[in-house]
Amino acid sequence: MEGKTTKAKQTFLMIGAAITWFALLLQLYIIILNRVESVPETIIHFFSFYTVLTNILVAFCSTVLLVKPNSRSGIFFSQPSVLAVNTIYITVVGVIYNLILRQIWSTVGFQRLADEVLHVVIPLLFILYWYFFTPKGGLVWQNAFPWLMYPFVYAVFVLFRGTLSGFYPYPFVDANTLGLKTILLNSDGLFTGFFILSLLFIVITKAMSKTNGNT
């Protein structure tokens, strides 16, 4: 039984990593092909998207757990808290896209394919991986606070670079259009959403841990 579980886990990681890297490379190719600025500036824009950064994080995590699970990086990414927070980050990708951005972004062709994979397929796959294959012990309520560091640093980076370049990757953080006050209110709402989602994952983890007899 354990052998079958390990095989299923490795298959999940292999499929997830392959699809994620493919979609990221496809998105990079599309954005360079349709660029209106220099290649270096276009690449900076590419790495300014939370979706891209978070999918890279998930792809790297999946690849390390598949190829070198016993390495220092593999041990780090296999920690329950790290797997949980990575799942939270990629869940946010799916939630924001499907609740907000899908209504205002209309894409076709390969761009549609990349969007659906990065915003729907990968979040669902990683949530399923977390649910079925990761240990559920060891999380505490205090974990929710340091987990906010990544979105906080991302927000600071986007707003700071936006003031210099005028480029904002998402309409709800576009200071040129909305103004600073609205941006701060939107950021407040996003951080609150991150925090609530983190607490929800901890609740689910604790419930599953008790069910499985873990501490």
How does pLDDT run across 101-140, given as a tens digit for each residue? 998 888 889 999 999 999 999 999 999 999 999 988 788 9
Closest CA to 135 of 60, 62, 214: 214
Q: What is the pLDDT of residues 67-81, one digit of tens each?
A: 999 999 999 999 999
Distance CA 171, CA 158 (A): 12
pTM (predicted TM-score): 0.93
Distance CA 73, CA 149 (A): 20
Q: Which two tokens stand for residue 140?
A: 């505490």
Averaged confidence pLDDT in the chain: 92
Report pLDDT for 170.
Answer: 94
The answer for residues whose C-beta is within 8 angstroms of residue 100's C-beta and 6 or more apart is: 172
Query: Which residue ranges make up each domain of the chain?
Result: 2-211
Return the sign of the alpha-carbon dihedral for residues 24, 27, 31, 32: positive
The answer for residues whose C-beta is within 8 angstroms of residue 107's C-beta and 6 or more apart is: 115
**Average pLDDT of the residues in 39-53:** 96
Specify the residue for token string 């103004």. Answer: 179
Q: What is the pLDDT of residues 10-27, one digit of tens each?
A: 999 999 999 999 999 999
* DSSP sequence for 50-114: HHHHHHHHHHHHHHHHHH-TTSHHHHHHTSHHHHHHHHHHHHHHHHHHHHTGGGT----HHHHHH
Specify the residue for token string 């990086």. Answer: 73
